[in-house]
Structure 1
Amino acid sequence: MSILKIAIQKSGRLYEESLQLLKDSGISVYNGNDQLKVTASNFPLEVYFLRNSDIPQYLIDGVVDIAIMGDNLLVEKGQGIQVAEKLGFSKCKVSVAVPKAFDYKSLNDLNGLRVATSYPKTVIDFFTSKGMTVDIHQISGSVEIAPNIGLSDAIVDIVSSGSTLFKNGLKEVEVILKSEAVLAVSPQISSESKALLSKLQFRIQSVLRSKKSKYILMNVPNDKIDEISNILPVLKSPTVMPLAEEGWSSVHSVIDEDTFWDVIDQLKEAGAEGILVCPIEKMVL
């Protein structure tokens, strides 16, 4: 029987969220013994727990079929690897940072200077596109310490909250790219594995849609139902059920998280009362 092979980060910021996504997609993966390869109990999926920087090569070589990884790593090492789905979590930036005492006015201030980074290709491509050259010092970890020990004048690294930069006396001055977790696909994936990927992706999409939406119920005067229905950004049309009180109905629909408060304000102004909002576990189209 065919089995789909997926790589995820064995530790760090992507590990927990990747496992949670699989769990939310109805896939049981138990790794209580910290194994490097585990088979799901209820889906034809084999999970490889790998060092983050090694994942692109595993995809390129066809050792795994898919992976959950940051798209910043694809920019650095993922030539030929396609993105099947943006996952919306583990958002961060790849940014240029300099010591707080650096009198930074523009990117040109870094021309010819030393830059420490774990992303040499990304840095070279960025500065080259600006017509500039920098002296790259490649570091595997703890990039933030490089200016303090005299190894570099600036760094390029992942920035989430910025607290690590602050603790090391650095300030963010330029954003090279924005990143988030993605579902990446090996260029060597077989047709059998593609069929399994399609099933997995269907589940993942249902989970992602639910996280971006809310289920909403409200009491509406019958003469306001059409007006309320025109406000609601529904999948097809709202569900309308009569209430025990004559002249009123209960209207049910789905609302986008991003526009939630704007829509709520419009519904109240149109006459909706007793508005109840509920989370959605899955949303299957």
Structure 2
Amino acid sequence: MSTPRLRIAVQKSGRLLQDSIQLLKECGIRIDNGRDQLKAPARNFPAEILYLRNSDIPQYIQDGVADIGIIGENTLVEKEKEGEVVQHLGFSKCRLSLATPRGTVYAGPQDLNGKRIATSYPNSLRAYLKAQDIDAEIHEISGSVEIAPNIGLADAICDLVSTGSTLFKNGLEERDIILKSEAVIAASPKIDATRREILDRLLFRIRSVLAARNQKYLLMNVPNQKVETIIKMLPGMRSPTVLPLAEAGWSSVHTVIAEDSFWDIIDQLREAGAEGILIVPIDKMIV
């Protein structure tokens, strides 16, 4: 009897696919995927990858054809299918927003009453309008939603926004955010106990990778009389490691620190006497 494999649905093309496969590689999972394959096994982990249309993934998760999917949370919400979000992944961040032509008077969502709104996300928009008690006409279109106001099809749009540059180029201004989204792992309600155990092993690896991404290993040389002062300044993991140097009166202080936090205190560390400061990337971090 063959060993069960965790069936992982991913987008079959695009940036989300690249980021998903990269994450799995960082988890040490090697995938035997050839050109135009729709299914590919992992060589060294009990899993197989299903390459699917992004909009179809929620249905496959709900039906149990896929045990988990790596998908944008906005798609999961829009399709209104059953699927448990078990991990946020921190990439492919965007937001579903309302936008109107620049110069349009807009005091708030209530200004959309009686207006026409073009969108590729009718379910998400409908839920938002209902929650805000707004009566507006939804025009469901695919493709370039942002052109709708310019051709007289709609008064406003509801679309995904990353940087806002596409809105700007089309003379639109972002007004309200309906929901914020990022890539997530969603699990099927039909996943069995054996595959759930494999999923738990995968999540352990993923969380170790994600924990390391914004963390750096920090090493510095510190005069012994300044060690306690330096340690109090470090917002790192538990207790730093302090090792004596060959030169009398000096120690090497090692810790893990968030990269953003480091830049906030670098000048303070130097003023407190730290020298020879090194910042080393972390590949994985088990916490």
TM-score bracket relative to the smaller structure: over 0.9
Structure 2 distance, partners of 1:66, 1:265, is 45
Residue identity opposite 2:173 in structure 1: K
Match of 2:27 among 25, 28, 35: 25
| Residues 91, 181 of structure 1: 8 Å contact kept | yes
Q: How does 1:73-112 map to 2 (within 5 A)?
A: 73-112=75-114
Residue identity opposite 1:66 in structure 2: I
Structure 1 distance, partners of 2:19, 2:88, is 14
Give the structure 1 partner of residue 208 of structure 2.
Answer: 206
Structure 2 distance, partners of 1:98, 1:30, is 46
Q: 1:46 deviation in Å? A: 0.9
3-state DSSP of counterpart to 1:259: helix
Q: Which runs of 5+ in 1 are unaligned?
A: none
> Could you say what the CA RMSD is over the residues aligned between the two structures, in angstroms?
1.5
| Residues 124, 133 of structure 1: 8 Å contact kept | no
| Residues 118, 138 of structure 2: 8 Å contact kept | yes
User: Following superposition, which runs of at least 4 residues in structure 1 exceed 4 angstroms of deviation?
Assistant: none
Give the structure 2 partner of residue 16 of structure 1.
Answer: 18
Question: Number of aligned pairs?
Answer: 285
3-state DSSP of counterpart to 2:254: strand
Q: Which runs of 5+ in 2 are unaligned?
A: none
Q: How does 1:187-206 map to 2 (within 5 A)?
A: 187-206=189-208
Q: Deviations over 1:161-199 (max 9, x none)?
A: 112222222221111111111111111111001100011
Structure 2 distance, partners of 1:28, 1:223, is 49
| Residues 240, 255 of structure 2: 8 Å contact kept | yes
Give the structure 2 partner of residue 164 of structure 1.
Answer: 166
Give the structure 2 partner of residue 173 of structure 1.
Answer: 175
Greater shift, 121-130 or 57-66, is seen at 121-130
Residue identity opposite 2:245 in structure 1: L
3-state DSSP of counterpart to 2:260: coil
Give the structure 2 partner of residue 140 of structure 1.
Answer: 142
| Residues 93, 182 of structure 2: 8 Å contact kept | yes
Give the structure 2 partner of residue 222 of structure 1.
Answer: 224
Structure 2 distance, partners of 1:173, 1:9, is 30
3-state DSSP of counterpart to 1:258: helix
Structure 2 distance, partners of 1:139, 1:24, is 38
3-state DSSP of counterpart to 1:80: coil
Structure 2 distance, partners of 1:166, 1:12, is 23
Structure 2 distance, partners of 1:78, 1:125, is 11
Q: 1:151 deviation in Å? A: 1.9
Structure 1 distance, partners of 2:283, 2:246, is 29
| Residues 116, 146 of structure 1: 8 Å contact kept | yes
| Residues 227, 270 of structure 1: 8 Å contact kept | yes
Residue identity opposite 1:51 in structure 2: R
TM-score, with structure 2 as normaliser: 0.94
TM-score, with structure 1 as normaliser: 0.95
| Residues 27, 42 of structure 1: 8 Å contact kept | yes
| Residues 84, 184 of structure 1: 8 Å contact kept | yes
